[in-house]
Chains A and B, each alone.
Chain A
Amino acid sequence: MMRFRLSDIAIDGAAERRALAADAAGACVVFEGWVRDHNDGRSVQRLDYQAYAELANNEGERIIAEAISKFEVTDARCIHRIGNLVIGDIAIWVGVAAAHRGSAFDACRWIVDEVKLRVPIWKNEHYADGDSGWLHPDGKAVAEY
């Protein structure tokens, strides 16, 4: 079952949430990551996301499966955008359903954190000054490509 996927079109959060519905679920926690107009002190106009799709799908599915075995949740899904995004677009959508709210909150946050760390997706920010650049945030100098 595909619980993680990449999407090159706008994410429909309401439809994704309906797919989590289950009689045993008493809580649903949804996280939406939005494209904002600034990062690290610079004015951002738009973003591109690029993914190594084969590995991203495998790694994303693995993260969701790990979350379902690690936390007491009934189901979880994650959709990540690729392609060109503008300010306000949903970049990542994570939804978790569970019997109780605590594990739904915990699992949702954990999935977002793991996706950001592990899944091969890269963000290219386009700035108001015309500059742009791929983000490779690992604490090392960004310019050393």
Chain B
Amino acid sequence: MRVFAQAVLIGPLFSRLKERYPLLSFILTRIVSMIVMLLLLGLLVFGLMKLSPGDMVENYVRSQMLMQSEFRQADNIYTEEAIAEAKRRLGLDLPFYMQYGRWLYQVFVERDLGQSLISRAPILFLIRERMVNSLVLNLISLVFLTVISFGLGIYFSGKVGTRVDFAATFTALFLHAFPYILLLILLQLFAAISGWFPITAYPDFPFREAPVRFSFSYLYHIFLPLLGAFLSGIGGTMRLIRATMLDQLGQPYITSLRSRGIPEPRIYLAHAFRNTLNPFITSSANLFASLFSGSLILEIIFSYPGIGRLMYEAVRQEDINLVLANIMFISFLILLGMITADIALAVVHPRIRYGRK
């Protein structure tokens, strides 16, 4: 009854807010939807992990039984009771939605991400540095891709129908279709054979040992992985910009501008380019998400200490606490990227924030 009353009160309040502060209400709606999405995602992950056969305790017991040269039926230290007790201690005996509820309570009420079930180390310790590493790598990739694909897209839109355009389109398609994993492996082999680049993507000493040397070494180490991400992403992004530019350049308002004698560079940059921003902002958010998803392969091949590698290990070992924390952080960052894109769109294009109006 109280919930109903609250809903009745919040409804008109929100309508008033939407009328007076449309942008703010738009942002609030997006944030609320992000939280709901994260909660549902967590529940789904928990459910999927539960569907896989066995659990962490069973897998652990099985591996220990194989390792123990003295293990026999008569001196079984892994009795059914001991296994049940271990599951109870870790909360693995509960239905998945209750485990998820407990996890949410622990994270949001007790403000504790908990321990890894395998290593018993605090989750925060395990993911902190790796999350930063992944974020830095993906943001650098995003910036490079954005700037260069914008430049190339605009440039080649002015060369439409020429051989240059044909070659550029062909190259873009080729790179877009080239398997990412193969590209990374080839780049690593190239590094190994040429000796020009390191074969791992991270310096072999920590930042605190020599910050300046580390920074230069880091840039040197990430060059090839960045090139891989760049080559694999540039095709799609450049083609998007080029197509949007061509679309804009064919619009009547461009013809009108040209007929008024406005210089071509101004038409490109001040008018057509501005209107390519909408699809580009949306695609940037998707690009960021795909970079995060693809970084797992990159992190394994190039031994980069990022979150993808950690999550891969956690999923394999069914370390549910670590998997959940990883998924939540990655999803949060991706959703944050998408919401930032939505907000940027709403700022650039006020019509978007008014929805059906």
Are A and B interaction partners? Answer: no
Residues of chain A whose beta carbon lies under 8 Å from any beta carbon of chain B: none
Residues of chain B whose beta carbon lies under 8 Å from any beta carbon of chain A: none
